[in-house]
Structure 1
Amino acid sequence: MRYRRRSGHSIKNNTKDTRPANTSSTDPDALSPDIRSNLNHIRKTLGNSSDIVIREIPIEGEEEPYLAILYTDGLADQNIILESIMKAVAHIAKSSEKSHPDNSQPFDGKKILGDISLMNKEIQSINNYKKLFHSLLSGDTVFLVDGLDRGIAAGTRGWKDRGVTETSAENVVRGPREAFSESLRTNTAMIRRKIKDPNLWLETMQIGRITQTDIGIMYINGIVNEKIVQEVRTRLERIDVDGILESGYIEEFIQDKTLTPFPTIYNTERPDVIAAELLEGKIAILVDGTPFVLIVPALFVSFLHASEDYYQRADISSFLRMLRYLSIFISLLAPSLYVAITTFHHEMLPTRLLFGLAAQREQIPFPAFVEALLMELTFEILREAGVRLPKNIGSAISIVGTLVIGQAAVEAGIISAAMVIVVAITAISSFVLPSFNMSIAFRMLRFPLMALAGSFGLFGIFVGVTILILHLCSLRSFGVPYMSPFAPLIPEGQKDSILRLPHWMQLKRPRLVNKNNVKRRTSTPPQKSRE
């Protein structure tokens, strides 16, 4: 491309006449009209990093560059840069040579940026170093022109990611198999593919002084409660930390109560779950770099529902939900009830069963509480080891450890066979819960309840359960009662809590979560065929 200076002097001698005044005196972070000064500052700030590509394009016959193209190797898509960016620059050069064959066209930086902007879809103006570094290190390509104290960033993000794969933590028999990836833009696109409504709004911000992690807030305008949206914005804006690497960082900063084992923010890696929650009037928080998306507000019943409940028939879904609620009581209370009955309440057992348990425990040197504690701790260690070991040997270690250690402990007279059965049923019941976070909460509460059962019997269990229920009723998630629709009791909410009634009977959205556009559909029942 051939341009000539507005005068015949060199760049340094003609700076005052041809370029805007440098605003760095008032704003030290502002870009300078001198492109060489900007490039030196960028190289110094980035430590001359080898993955930062800076291409300088000088005017014919001049040593100083008039145009600089900057991008980060590995974050920017090379195909977009070569096919779009470089073609745009070549097109500008070719058109300028045809219109001014005598090299008489003056150096016009604004026209250059304008021509480049027309050749690219995603364009963002840059007037300070903060925006420049954020765009550059996010995968965008930055253009700087000599004589202008601003530049532009073209969207060329195209790093390698895991792509859309099948979910591994929330498997279903019937339903979509796709899961979120670590790319924020991919995740937002997957949600928009399911909800094609213009009222699905997305707000973005950056959190983390060093990481500058992109955070997205998605909600459906007209359905969501605006007060909750504002509360989410306020809590996110309060976060002042050097880095955000996963959505768990955000969860700890914005949750209502810290001193509780129960999760008050729901997370999932399934796009269909997020779409369903957005239709309920809830808010999704997406974090770049993780496939787990947060949902607020979160209710206790949300952690016991699976996405498959809405894909199966209502009777099948209701039966599976009742199994989950039964599994909660088994995983939480089975060891405690065994300890309390075998220690204090022998009269509650049939005579033959009592004699059989007494014969088994005759050679056991430990009381029932210590026996249960040893078995529960051993199983928790085996479960954690199975998670951390490589997949090829993790399952084998878990199976071998459970069978060999359990059988050897019974034969050695350390543990009774009945205790092994109780612990096995308890462990299996804990796997029924769809949410891993809620399962961990019940696993943790199992130990203090066993201590109360070993000390006070059934009375201790009743006291512990009462305290647990009162604690659950005191929790809130972004101002919404955690135990709704049970406490407070909402009759309309019972249609989708323990039981799931058919879709055509669920006319309204959750009242405490959503106060706008409450109706899902009209009350007209489905038409039956006439024969």
Structure 2
Amino acid sequence: MPKKITTRLEENIRNYEELFSDCADIKKRRIKVGQHLKKECYIAYIEVAVSGTDWKESAIGKLLNTLRELPEEELASYVRSNTWDISDSEPFETIEDAAQGMLTGDVIFFLEGYERALKIPDQGYPGRGVYEVESEKVIRGSNEGFSESIKLNTALIRKRLRSPHVKVKESFAGRRTHTNVDLVYMKDLIYPGMLEEIEKRLQEFEIDGTLDSGIIEQLTEKRKYSPFPQFQTTQRPDRAAMAILEGRIVLLSDNSPVALILPATYNTFIQTSDDYYSRWEIASFTRILRYVASFLAMTFPGLYLAMTNFHTQILPTDLLLSLAAARQGVPFPAVVEVLLMELAFELLREAGVRLPGANGNTIGIVGGLIIGQAAVDANIVSPIVVIVVALTALCSFAVPNEEFATAFRILKFAFILVCGYLGFFGFLLGIMAVLIHLSHLESFGIPYLSPFVGADLNGYQDERDTFLRLPLKFLKKRPVYTRNGARTRLKIK
């Protein structure tokens, strides 16, 4: 049962300190106020969240200075009238609400004779500011990246979308963490029902804590066993702003620099920010490379096994003799040989991620060269397998989104097994299974293979931004995610 805040300061202090007993990081102070210092107030805050070095210049310091100059009988009415000119202050009626207000990083203020607790804003929790994006490098465009502060992240989006139609809807996730979750969208562009659908999914679960947007992503996905992500992730404010202009919704979670974009399709995972900042020729060329890379990252080792084990007749004689000579002395079957090298490269990739900075880069390059050369010299694997595995790894790195590339890395092992035992027939079975799965997959009502399927829903306009990115003057319509009647984004005068 929530405890109501009363005009009796001692009772409020007792209830509040009972809630935060044995909390050494919570600072509590009693302060005398009024002209004759006959009344008391009580403030509570988290130690590192308040500017202790410049207390007099802070919002709470200015309020206390004002209260010391007023007669005691006017203090409660002054605070009640909300005339102290402090932005973002908020009154609370219960002890529990006041506690949650303090846990956001602000100061909680109690006054004798005043029946509310006030949240007074301060510097908040320590955190990183705007920094350069590491995972989504672009050749042209902004280098700003999201931080762990949700307020800063929403500001970075508003910096790019200076429109009153941009709405930010706030909610909380995590029974114990009370993590702020913001849904950012353009009110006049989002498809009817999409906002309600994501809000419904956010209310379908109750969990102790959500420390990153990845937890929300996993709990709100409909096809939980699919290797393909149904949310697009980004650390770039310009990518998030671009998605909002397309009628999509961006989900931000406090303490996470990764934003979720919904809905998502195969095509959106292949696109990058600088596709639209660069000329259409180079954007189209690199996009075709990414599509080919996404296919080969999944199938290349399997195709190698199918051709060398079952369908050697499709290879030129000279190449076949070269492959046979390279495999002389290798004691393992080709399937085991490929699996060993793939697992070795996956281990090197994981080790490179976990090791700090320069050490990670070193282990990735030097480790790959040394292990590959040593395996060839020891006749454990053939040189062609090292080339196949290395090219497959390059293809997976060429996919712009890490989570999307992970799906191909997982399916790669399935293709190795099925092609190693069924040949090209197994390859066709694998491709058919993946296509059937993708054709059944959707993200918030949008087919995953859009606009390759359902292109007529938007008059075939979305096909102008798939394998080829046509010149911007031809991209006059927003994608199918946008509500009907609001899809015109470019008018040539």
Taking structure 1 as the reference length, the TM-score comes to: 0.88
SS at match of 2:169: strand
Shift of 1:157: 3.8
Match in the other structure for 2:401 = 435
Task: Point out the structure with max Rg over C-alpha.
Answer: 1
1:351 aligned residue (305, 317, 322):
317
Match in the other structure for 2:61 = 86
For the 8 Å contact 1:328–1:430, the answer to whether it is kept is yes
Q: How many residue pairs were aligned? A: 489
**Structure 1 residues 60 and 285, CA gap change in structure 2 (3 angstroms):** closer
SS at match of 2:49: coil
1:498 and 2:467 correspond: yes
**Structure 1 residues 512 and 135, CA gap change in structure 2 (3 angstroms):** closer
1:487 and 2:436 correspond: no
Match in the other structure for 1:44 = 18
Match in the other structure for 1:260 = 226
Report the Cα distance in structure 1 between the residues aligned to 2:158 and 2:132, rounded to whole angstroms. 19
Q: Deviations over 1:93-152 (max 9, x none)?
A: 3254xxxxxxxx63652323436x523111111101221011111112222122333222
Match in the other structure for 2:28 = 54
SS at match of 1:224: coil
SS at match of 1:226: coil
Amino acid at match of 2:69: K
- In structure 1, list runs of 5 or more residues that go unmatched: 1-26, 97-104, 526-531
Match in the other structure for 1:67 = 41
Report the Cα distance in structure 1 between the residues aligned to 2:164 and 2:435, rounded to whole angstroms. 41
Match in the other structure for 2:81 = 114
Match in the other structure for 2:277 = 311
**Structure 1 residues 332 and 319, CA gap change in structure 2 (3 angstroms):** same
Is 85-94 or 243-252 further displaced after alignment?
85-94
Shift of 1:256: 1.9
Task: Please show how residues 339-418 of structure 1 align to structure 2 within 5 Å.
Answer: 339-418=305-384
Shift of 1:158: 3.0
1:519 and 2:493 correspond: no
Amino acid at match of 1:329: F
Report the Cα distance in structure 1 between the residues aligned to 2:216 and 2:34, rounded to whole angstroms. 52
1:130 and 2:96 correspond: yes
Percent identity over paired residues: 36
Match in the other structure for 1:278 = 244
Is 270-279 or 228-237 further displaced after alignment?
228-237
Report the Cα distance in structure 2 between the residues aligned to 1:513 and 1:372, rounded to whole angstroms. 45
Is 400-409 or 194-203 further displaced after alignment?
400-409
**C-alpha RMSD of matched pairs (Å):** 1.9
Q: Deviations over 1:263-320 (max 9, x none)?
A: 1101100000000000000001111101101111111111111111011001110011
Report the Cα distance in structure 1 between the residues aligned to 2:366 and 2:165, rounded to whole angstroms. 54
Shift of 1:332: 1.5
**Structure 1 residues 61 and 355, CA gap change in structure 2 (3 angstroms):** closer
Report the Cα distance in structure 2 between the residues aligned to 1:362 and 1:60, rounded to whole angstroms. 94
Shift of 1:213: 0.6
- In structure 2, list runs of 5 or more residues that go unmatched: none
**Structure 1 residues 233 and 202, CA gap change in structure 2 (3 angstroms):** same
Report the Cα distance in structure 2 between the residues aligned to 1:52 and 1:35, rounded to whole angstroms. 19
1:195 and 2:161 correspond: yes
SS at match of 1:106: helix
Is 334-343 or 142-151 further displaced after alignment?
142-151
Amino acid at match of 2:289: L
Report the Cα distance in structure 2 between the residues aligned to 1:458 and 1:309, rounded to whole angstroms. 35
Shift of 1:243: 0.5
Q: Deviations over 1:342-363 (max 9, x none)?
A: 1111111111111111122221
For the 8 Å contact 1:122–1:155, the answer to whether it is kept is yes
SS at match of 2:483: coil
Q: Deviations over 1:199-236 (max 9, x none)?
A: 10011111111111111111001111130001111111
SS at match of 1:156: coil
Amino acid at match of 1:180: F
Q: Which runs of 4+ in 1 moved over 6 A?
A: 59-64
Match in the other structure for 2:413 = 447
For the 8 Å contact 2:246–2:481, the answer to whether it is kept is no
SS at match of 2:40: strand
Match in the other structure for 1:22 = none
**Structure 1 residues 112 and 355, CA gap change in structure 2 (3 angstroms):** closer
Match in the other structure for 1:290 = 256
**Structure 1 residues 281 and 42, CA gap change in structure 2 (3 angstroms):** same
Shift of 1:52: 1.9
Amino acid at match of 1:169: S
Shift of 1:81: 4.9
Match in the other structure for 1:510 = 479
Q: Deviations over 1:400-452 (max 9, x none)?
A: 22111111111111111111111111111111111001111101101111111
Q: Deviations over 1:437-493 (max 9, x none)?
A: 111110110111111111110011001100100100100111111110012234211
SS at match of 1:248: helix
**Structure 1 residues 147 and 368, CA gap change in structure 2 (3 angstroms):** same
Q: Deviations over 1:19-78 (max 9, x none)?
A: xxxxxxxx6432233211111121121114232222223468999853222222212344
Task: Please show how residues 217-232 of structure 1 align to structure 2 within 5 Å.
Answer: 217-232=183-198
SS at match of 2:211: coil
Match in the other structure for 2:425 = 459
